[in-house]
Amino acid sequence: MNYTKSIALFEEAKKYIPGGVNSPVRAFKSVGGTPLFIERGEGSRIFDADKNEYIEYVGSWGPHLFGHNPKFIIDALKSALENGTSFGAPTELEIKMAKIITELVPSIEKIRMVNSGTEATMSAIRAARGFTNRNKFIKFEGCYHGHADYFLIKAGSGALTFGVPTSPGVTAANAADTLVADYNYINSVKTLIHENKNEIAAIIIEPIAGNMGVVPASKEFLAELRDICTEEEIVLIFDEVMSGFRVAKGGAQEVYGIKPDMTTFGKIIGGGLPVGAFGGRKDIMDTLAPVGPVYQAGTLSGNPLAMSAGIAALTHIKENKNLYNILEEKSQYLEDGIKENMKKFNKSFAMNRVGSMSCLFFTDKKVDNFPSALTSDAPLYGKYFHKMLENGVYLAPSQFEAMFISTAHSKEDLDKTIEANYLSLRELL
């Protein structure tokens, strides 16, 4: 493949944009090489500045459940555009959006729209703190909840019971209220609660973690979290920015049959536009201004363009009863193909999958939390990534990201991908 134009564009971009990108993982730092500049997407394919074509599995990091440029979303956007892009005043579209989410996800009694997943999670934490009058919250190592200060915290080592910042610019004061537990290991949660009795406002978790590769929580673990939160009057927040409308129409909470107190959304609910949302129990949501005292706002929140794209996506989900079965079939087919290939090379790398989100970890260990995810051979993944690219398949440029299948991926696409996987593994193993 020829990447001449992408290489030139990257050099140009670096002059004006830090690292040439508007979000760090796009820069290919963890796999090496130059990021591809994308010109166009269509269904399961993307086309770069050098006119190379790829079957792709990033889907803009999750939003594109139906592939790129589905006609029904583009049509909805075109007709919304005729009436104006934003008014900063209520519109009927916002009611439509709120209604359809509350229908699809029964735990949501009230919901508020924002512009990104980051805004959704930070607002949910603020609401939970306001509601409980407590300051601390628990998150899990390896889960990602956007880039608000108090989420960029990892577990302290040794004698430290509080977290430490993972980024300069995040203060120790911020870290002091963030407690970090071990994903899927309930005792780590119990210990933190015991040590911080009546001080914990919320527990926030990706019920299917998708930001350390794909690591599903066990059902027992989530059920225990639910019970502990009820007992201790802690707000249980499911961060379904990725898993919401990805693994089922009701998200991970439908798959597991567990009802959180609050849920955050993003990605798919925007139909490809910048949207996030947080919602849940009425009594908690009504602590928000203007009903209650907890401040939260947004100039472009709920704007008609974003709402129209989101409504189109969610309506499609609501009306296509078979959608998640089709995604499951496609995903199972790809998983089987990749596993068959590994057998041919006597390898049994961990492949985690829930519906159309999956991850091939380059490790023989079972991956069920962050430390086990880290046993993966990330440099080998980097080589695999580039081999796949040469074979016409664009994967996430990091071992610790999810692979997404869309309804636009055809059997032919999947067969080509399985073949590319075979050829890549053959060269590497």
Ligand X SMILES: *Cc1c(COP(=O)(O)O)cnc(C)c1O
Is position 144 an interface residue for ligand X (rule: CB under 6 A)? yes
Q: Which is nearer to ligand X, 43 or 146 (CB)?
A: 146
Query: Dihedral sign, CA of 201, 206, 207, 209?
Result: negative
Q: Which is nearer to ligand X, 3 or 140 (CB)?
A: 140
Q: Which among 94-102, 140-148, 187-195, 403-411 is the span making contact with ligand X, rule CB under 6 A?
A: 140-148
Candidates 210, 279, 302, 304: give the one binding ligand X (CB under 6 A). Answer: 210
Q: Which among 103-111, 142-150, 158-166, 283-291 is the span making contact with ligand X, rule CB under 6 A?
A: 142-150
384 catalytically annotated: no
CB of 252 to ligand X, least distance (A): 10
Is position 372 an interface residue for ligand X (rule: CB under 6 A)? no
Q: Which is nearer to ligand X, 278 or 394 (CB)?
A: 278
Is position 206 an interface residue for ligand X (rule: CB under 6 A)? yes
Site residues for ligand X, 246-285, by CB under 6 A, read 266, 276
Longest dimension (CA), the chain: 62
For residue 137, count CB atoms less than 10 angstroms from its CB and return exposed for 0-12, middle for 13-18, buried for 19 or more.
buried
CB of 104 to ligand X, least distance (A): 18
Site residues for ligand X, 229-248, by CB under 6 A, read 239, 241-242
Under 8 Å between Cβ of 109 and 281: yes
144 catalytically annotated: yes
Is position 107 an interface residue for ligand X (rule: CB under 6 A)? no
Q: Which is nearer to ligand X, 225 or 241 (CB)?
A: 241
Q: Which is nearer to ligand X, 265 or 361 (CB)?
A: 265
Is position 211 an interface residue for ligand X (rule: CB under 6 A)? yes
State yes or no: cis peptide before 290, omega within 30 of 0: yes
Query: Catalytic residue among 144, 183, 324, 384, which?
Result: 144
Residue 50 — φ and ψ, nearest 5°? Answer: -90, 10
Query: Catalytic residue among 57, 182, 183, 267, which?
Result: 267
Would you please indicate which residues are annotated as catalytic (active-site) residues?
144, 239, 267
User: By the criterion CB under 6 A, which residues form the site for ligand X?
Assistant: 116-118, 121, 144-146, 206, 210-211, 239, 241-242, 266, 276
